[in-house]
A and B are shown apart, each in its own frame.
Chain A
Amino acid sequence: MAKLRTPVTSRDHIQGPEDAPLTLVEYGDYECPSCGSAYPIVKRVQEKFGKRLRFVFRNFPLSEIHPHAESAAETAEFAAAEGRFWEMHDLLFENQEQLSEALYSELADELGLSPTALRQALEVSKYKDRVRTDFSSGVRSGVNGTPTFFINGTRHDGPFDYETLVLALREKNGKATP
Chain B
Amino acid sequence: MHVEPIPGKAVLMSAEGDRMSKVLPPGTPAPDFTLPVTPDQKLSLRELRGHPVMLAFYPADWSPVCGDQMALYNEILPEFQKFGAEVVGVSVDGVWCHRAFADARHLHFPLLADFEPKGDVARAYGAYRSAEGVSERALFVIDKNGIITWSYCSPIAVNPGADGILEALESLPK
A interface, CB within 8 angstroms of B: 1-2, 5, 29, 32-35, 60, 62-66, 135-136, 139-146, 154-155, 157, 171
Contacts and interface: CB of A to CB of B under 8 A. Distances in A.
A34 B71 contact: no
Interface in B23-78: 65-69, 71-72, 74-76
Which of under 10, 10 to 19, 20 to 34, or 35 or more describes the interface residues of B?
Answer: 20 to 34
Given A1-B4, A143-B161, A145-B68, A62 B75 contact: yes
Nearest to B63: A145
14 contacts: A29-B67, A32-B67, A35-B66, A62-B71, A139-B76, A139-B166, A142-B163, A142-B164, A144-B72, A144-B159, A145-B68, A145-B159, A146-B67, A157-B158
A2 B161 contact: yes
Interface of B: 3-4, 6, 65-69, 71-72, 74-76, 79, 105-107, 158-164, 166
Chief secondary structure at chain B's binding surface: loop
Nearest to A61: B75
A64 B75 contact: yes
Contacts of A141: 163
A65 B163 contact: no
A144 B3 contact: no
Given A29-B66, A62-B75, 7 more contacts: A2-B161, A62-B67, A62-B72, A65-B106, A139-B161, A145-B68, A154-B4
A11 B69 CA distance: 29
A76 to B, nearest CB: 18
Given A65-B105, A65-B106, A145 B67 contact: yes
B163 A2 contact: yes
